[in-house]
């Protein structure tokens, strides 16, 4: 029997309260079939009236005249899918509050606001006077609508612009399809309660359901298939899955929305050494995070070990995110991992990321293609598995002047790259750039001519990943002589 260990009193007493103080109680209130009144015909009233009608309320707008937005809203009110909108062409009065669930007003001055507020209080009706916090018993939050999933954000009136910014962030994280998934869950809840035992079995179903809700478009068939899978004996249930996720060059803002959703749905994250902490912070807190870094010139995790970890976790039913710097399909060994997983019948998906060369071009303000200078772009690996230049590179093709070439992982072979290109006929004065730690805080840049590449690379050092760009398009980003130093960028 396990022994229950208690904490010393002085530690137990420091245990925080379960709920910190709240500025307001967040409540989701059903207004279906309820009568609400809105006093005023302004655009602000139109927005509140539309919101209330969307909740299924019958909205009576008291105003002698309606503004354009309210007029349009009332004209379309008869076709509203849930509630109704009715114009009462008169000022509000005491009798209007009878049997009302909510009262909202847009008042020109404090006196009118106070009269409306006190009348609503006498009638026992919750009241909100727009933009006058002193006369509000409740507030409207900033809303993310995936109904029946509804998210509301409040700053207690302190910073409405902050609430709007938070809403925009949440909007990007919640796929539009979540609305359909939630409705589907609602329709299947009773059936699932009958077919699956409460506890671990039912919880496992909903966890798998949620994973799919953030990854795919909903169909009733796929949910029913999931239900059938959960009813199978444990040894015969389907395995988990692996998603190869492009983390971009470092800055978390370069991530795609789909990549963020994949991180937040993952049980296990196997991440590269170059993936930033900023990116990992976007992952689900409960996810297991394992560094499987592979860096040139350093002791690295073997590819075979990474493959085995992905397989082991997936066979255990886990949702695995293989988080790769840049784009998984560009020098990311994705082909080897996909082949290995498919060989073992593990479902695998790829979410592309912004590759380092694209980020470099953006940071330099240079287009990798140009009608006058480059009609093609070439991405080339700067080292083989043995650490030197790959033998199969066609240097004659790389030396064509009307192409832009970007070498990945070419820091230690920069001298050989310079010699090979010159030998293949590329002019020694061809513009070249070196960028290390692209889109990270310690990013460094150098620009010059091909003939100076090896010397510049030696000056910059080999401790950070670098890109070498070669081609006429880089003539536009020549730095001043004093800037051609291996100093972190700051301007």
Q: Of the given ranges (56-65, 121-130, 367-376, 382-391), which has the lowest mean pLDDT?
A: 382-391
Q: Into how many domains does the chain fold?
A: 4
Q: Is residue 134 located within the same domain as residue 50? A: yes
Q: Among 131-135, 182-186, 205-209, 374-378, where is mean pLDDT lowest? A: 205-209
pLDDT of residue 106: 96
Q: What is the pLDDT at residue 482?
A: 37
Give percent above pLDDT 90 in the chain.
54
Residue 255 vs residues 134, 173, 250, 276, 409: alpha-carbon distances, Å: 42, 12, 9, 12, 22
Task: Give the pLDDT band (50/70/90) at residue 44.
Answer: very high
Which residues have C-beta within 8 Å of that of residue 231, sequence separation ≥ 6? Answer: 195, 196
**Which range (154-163, 375-384, 422-431, 474-483) has the least confidence?**
474-483
Q: Which of 338, 354, 370 lies at the terminal end of a domain, its last residue?
A: 354
Is the same domain home to 347 and 389?
no
Distance of CA 178 to CAs 153, 181, 216, 382, Å?
18, 5, 10, 43
Residue 481 is predicted with a pLDDT of 35
Task: State yes or no: pLDDT of 227 exceeds 80.
Answer: no
pLDDT digits (tens, 9 = 90+) for 213-222: 776 677 767 7
Statement: residue 192 has pLDDT above 70? yes
Query: Two tokens at 185?
Result: 């869950």
- Contact between 435 and 466 under an 8 Å Cβ cutoff? The reply is yes
Catalytic residue, chosen from 106, 272, 318, 324, is: 272
**Which domain covers residue 450, as residue numbers?**
357-483
Task: State pTM to two decimals.
Answer: 0.63
For 79-131, write each residue's pLDDT tens digit: 555 789 999 999 999 999 999 999 999 999 999 999 999 999 999 999 999 99
Q: What is the CATH number of the domain that holds 431?
A: 3.30.950.10
CB-CB contact of 413 with 441 (8 Å):
no
| Domain shared by 443 and 397, yes or no | yes
Q: How confident is the model at residue 8 (pLDDT cuts 50, 70, 90)?
A: very low
Active site residue 272: yes
Instruction: List the catalytic residue out of 48, 258, 294, 318.
Output: 294
Of 214, 236, 258, at which residue does a domain stop?
236
Asked, for residue 230, whether it belongs to a domain, the answer is yes
Buried b (16+ CB within 10 A) or exposed e, 286-322: ebeeeebebeeeeeebeeeebbebbbebbeebbbbbb
Q: Is residue 215 part of a domain?
A: yes
- Strands 319-324, 241-246: pairing is parallel
57-90 confidence digits (pLDDT tens): 999 999 999 999 999 999 886 555 578 999 999 9
Q: What order do you get walking across the sheet with 431-436 strand by strand?
A: 376-381, 403-408, 466-470, 431-436, 444-449
Residue 416 located in a structural domain: yes
* Residue 280: exposure state from Cβ atoms within 10 A (0-12, 13-18, ≥19): middle
Examine the domain organization and report whether 292 and 222 are in the same domain.
no
Q: What is the CATH number of the domain that holds 117?
A: 3.40.50.720
């Amino acid at each position: 029997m396990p022994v229950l260990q208690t904490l010393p009193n002085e530690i137990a007493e420091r245990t925080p309260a379960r709920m910190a103080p709240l500025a307001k109680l967040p409540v989701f209130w059903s207004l279906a079939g309820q009568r609400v009144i809105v006093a005023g015909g302004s655009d602000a009233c139109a927005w509140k009236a539309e919101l209330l009608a969307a909740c299924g309320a019958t909205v009576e707008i008291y105003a002698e005249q309606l503004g354009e937005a309210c007029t349009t809203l009332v004209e379309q009110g008869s076709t509203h899918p849930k509630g109704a909108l009715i114009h009462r062409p008169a000022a509000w009065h005491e009798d209007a509050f009878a049997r009302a669930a909510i009262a909202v007003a847009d008042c020109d001055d404090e006196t009118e606001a106070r009269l409306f507020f006190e009348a609503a209080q006498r009638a026992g009706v919750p009241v909100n006077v727009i933009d006058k916090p002193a006369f509000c018993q409740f507030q409207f939050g900033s809303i993310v609508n995936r109904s029946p999933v509804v998210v509301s954000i409040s700053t207690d009136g302190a910073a409405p612009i902050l609430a709007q910014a938070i809403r925009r962030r949440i909007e990007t994280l919640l796929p539009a399809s979540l609305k359909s998934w939630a409705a589907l869950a609602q329709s299947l809840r009773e059936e699932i309660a009958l077919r699956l035992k409460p506890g671990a079995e039912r919880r496992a179903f909903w966890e798998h359901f949620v994973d799919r809700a953030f990854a795919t478009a909903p169909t009733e068939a796929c949910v029913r298939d999931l239900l059938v899978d959960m009813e199978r004996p444990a040894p015969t249930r389907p395995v988990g899955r692996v998603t190869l996720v492009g983390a971009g060059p470092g800055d978390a803002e370069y991530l795609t929305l789909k990549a963020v959703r994949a991180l937040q749905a993952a049980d296990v994250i196997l991440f590269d050494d170059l993936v930033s902490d900023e990116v990992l912070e976007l992952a689900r807190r409960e996810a297991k995070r394992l560094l499987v870094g592979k860096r040139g010139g350093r002791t690295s995790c073997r590819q075979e070990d990474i493959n085995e970890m992905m397989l082991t976790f997936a066979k255990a039913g886990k949702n695995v995110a293989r988080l790769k710097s840049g784009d998984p399909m560009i020098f990311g060994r994705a082909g080897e991992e996909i082949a290995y997983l498919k060989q073992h019948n593990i479902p695998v998906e790829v979410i592309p990321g912004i590759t380092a060369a694209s980020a470099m071009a953006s940071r330099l303000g240079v287009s990798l293609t140009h009608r006058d200078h480059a009609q093609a772009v070439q991405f080339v690996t700067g080292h083989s598995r043995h650490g030197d230049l790959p033998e199969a590179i066609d240097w004659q093709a790389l030396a064509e002047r009307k192409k832009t070439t970007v070498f990945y992982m070419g820091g230690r072979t920069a001298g050989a790259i310079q010699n090979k290109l010159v030998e293949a006929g590329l002019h020694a004065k061809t513009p070249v750039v070196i960028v290390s730690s692209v889109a990270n805080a310690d990013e460094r840049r150098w620009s010059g001519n091909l003939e100076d590449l090896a010397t510049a690379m030696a000056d910059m050092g080999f401790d950070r990943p670098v890109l070498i760009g070669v081609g006429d398009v880089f003539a536009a980003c020549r730095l001043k002589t004093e800037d051609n130093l291996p100093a972190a960028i700051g301007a």
